[in-house]
Copies of this chain bind each other. A is one copy, B any other.
Amino acid sequence: MTSVHMDQISWVEYQQRVEQGAVVFLPCGATEQHGPHLPLGTDALLSTALSADVAAQIGGIVAPALAYGYKSQPKCGGGQHFCGTTSLDGATLIALVQDAVREFARHGVKRLVLVLGHYENTWFVTEGIQLALRELGPGCELEVMRLEHWDFCREDTLDDIFPDGFPGFALEHAAVIETSLMLHYLPHLVSLDKIPNDPPADFPPYDMYPTRTEWVPPSGVLSSARGSTAEKGARMADDIATGITAAVRHEFKLEA
């Protein structure tokens, strides 16, 4: 038996699977504070785990995650003033994605999915994809999907998990969704006893630079992670993996 993980298979096996039309997934994470209860690698770990679940269903391949992402912003990741958050300039992330897409195209990959686990990556990943496709030119057969995994949580799931109303994905940094997903996939990396009980952060409709660090809870958790469970994580992981699988099959015209 073999692995879905590109870094665990030989080039010979990779080539065979690419020639058979395998979809390649590139998880785009970050090294970013996720409160005192989740590890710094949460974004890369979750986007990799979810990609692997999808890849297992459709014979896909998961490339090594981008372990560093764009700079953390106060409103969605706490901000750059946290120790441990290790971020890239926008130009670096753009170049990283452009290089990766160019290389997958050279391999003969026709179907590539960038699975984002860090919200701040979105626009720089988008630019990297667009620059790569411009460079590759109109003859290139590669098609690329880009997604943020949490957008595949079903509405009824969110209704059940947040009976008092869903606070929105922005405030969900290191909160119930990410904590539950980590409890599902990597429970040994979660310290439930260290979950802070701060009230949710409340941000005005603008941003200030330099960062007004007093806007962000000192723990780095933007809304409480209390109530996180592995069961909730399993349900959301299922939503996400099922949703991405369906999207990939639909857009890339794979047989189910």
**A: which residues have CB within 8 A of B?**
5-12, 14-15, 18, 31, 33-41, 44-45, 63-68, 70-71, 73, 80, 82-92, 94-96, 99-100, 103-104, 106-108, 120, 122-124, 126-127, 129-131, 133, 143-147, 151-152, 189, 191, 194, 204-210, 220, 243-244, 247, 251
Contact = CB atoms under 8 A, between A and B. Distances in A.
Given A94-B90, A133-B209, A133-B210, A7 B99 contact: no
Given A87-B103, A108-B83, A243 B205 contact: yes
Contact of A90 (B73, B123, B144, B191): B123
Contact of A38 (B10, B70, B205): B10
Given A6-B41, A45-B7, A84-B14, A208 B145 contact: yes
A63 B10 contact: no
Nearest to A86: B103
B131 A107 contact: no
Nearest to A97: B92
